[in-house]
Structure 1
């Protein structure tokens, strides 16, 4: 159990299980992009640990860039997505893979993909560590999804609660049922 601010979180996904799954995802990406030079767009802040582990396991030439969006307030999605830091690279004719920590409502991912499509990428794929199908408000195609989870609030491995908990090496789930998103 870990306590972050006023919330208690219990173990959910261990570091070993997460890293094993990331290895499997990397193997699939290596196969799918063999002989290509994709650009990976990492969504900050949450996807940094996942992206780091995934990218270290890739055996292909690639570029990495970063974008930053915000849509969470405390433990609930605000429903409003704001772009904070934009993309500078030319994506025309490029294979693009967006790396995200979690897709829950799908709103952030849909906004990002809608902003990337006019750049005319050759291909556009999404790799996410976690997916909450029950929380979807907008459909999203996920080519690489690590784990499908229930619609519960999680922290660790890059995911946070009010900016804290990102550094945990495993994923923890909120235990206080009355405070769940």
Structure 2
């Protein structure tokens, strides 16, 4: 398949096949933890939408889906450290088992903020599932309960992850060439 974005990718970190295999494993792990518990999958927009779609299908439990949109990057390559809710969840989460789905756990600012926010809203439990974990960038004491892949400190795009709202539709995880984001 042709892609006009290929020229902007330095290298592929995680292939389509590796993504499919690992998401199947994550779905099975979530099934074991949550069958019979009617969890709420809560996607952090926009980056999680591709991963969450595949993860929900891989985890065959009765569940429902919700989304929250937050902002901390503001079209930059690093987090501003300030998290604000752009679109809040639309249902009561009191007593619910949440599966918070994130594209990448980087600084930890977003997930630290959201974990506290969901606790104050009465969630029974919060399970963090991230596609990518970048521990070298962590500034908050946050860890994922389940992580797809540990990645190095490089600027990654694809499979929902973006740079300036682009590259989300690449079907793998790639490293963006530095000259693309330093323009």
Q: Is the 8 A contact 1:92 1:121 kept in 2?
A: yes
Matched with 1:153 is: 155
Residue 117 of structure 1: SS of its match in structure 2?
helix
Residue 86 of structure 2: which of 84, 87, 93 is its match?
Answer: 84
Shift of 1:7: 5.0
Q: Is the 8 A contact 1:38 1:61 kept in 2?
A: yes
Shift of 1:53: 0.4
Q: Which runs of 5+ in 2 are unaligned?
A: none
Matched with 1:170 is: 172
Shift of 1:102: 0.4
Alignment partners' CA distance in 1, 2:165 and 2:180: 21
Residue 127 of structure 1: SS of its match in structure 2?
strand
Alignment partners' CA distance in 1, 2:9 and 2:170: 14
Residue 30 of structure 2: SS of its match in structure 1?
helix
Q: Is the 8 A contact 1:8 1:176 kept in 2?
A: no
Alignment partners' CA distance in 2, 1:91 and 1:166: 29
Q: Is the 8 A contact 2:52 2:101 kept in 1?
A: yes
Q: Is the 8 A contact 1:153 1:174 kept in 2?
A: yes
Matched with 2:50 is: 49
Residue 46 of structure 1: SS of its match in structure 2?
coil
Residue 41 of structure 1: SS of its match in structure 2?
strand
Residue 139 of structure 1: SS of its match in structure 2?
coil
Matched with 1:70 is: 71
Q: Is the 8 A contact 1:3 1:9 kept in 2?
A: no
Alignment partners' CA distance in 1, 2:69 and 2:112: 14
Q: Is the 8 A contact 2:48 2:160 kept in 1?
A: yes
**TM-score, normalising length from structure 2?**
0.90
Residue 54 of structure 1: SS of its match in structure 2?
helix
Residue 146 of structure 2: which of 140, 144, 147 is its match?
Answer: 144
Residue 87 of structure 1: SS of its match in structure 2?
coil
Shift of 1:54: 0.4
Matched with 1:34 is: 35
Aligned length, in residue pairs: 178
> Per residue, is there more strand in 1 or in 2?
1
Alignment partners' CA distance in 2, 1:18 and 1:8: 17
Alignment partners' CA distance in 2, 1:111 and 1:48: 20
Q: CA RMSD, aligned part only? A: 2.0
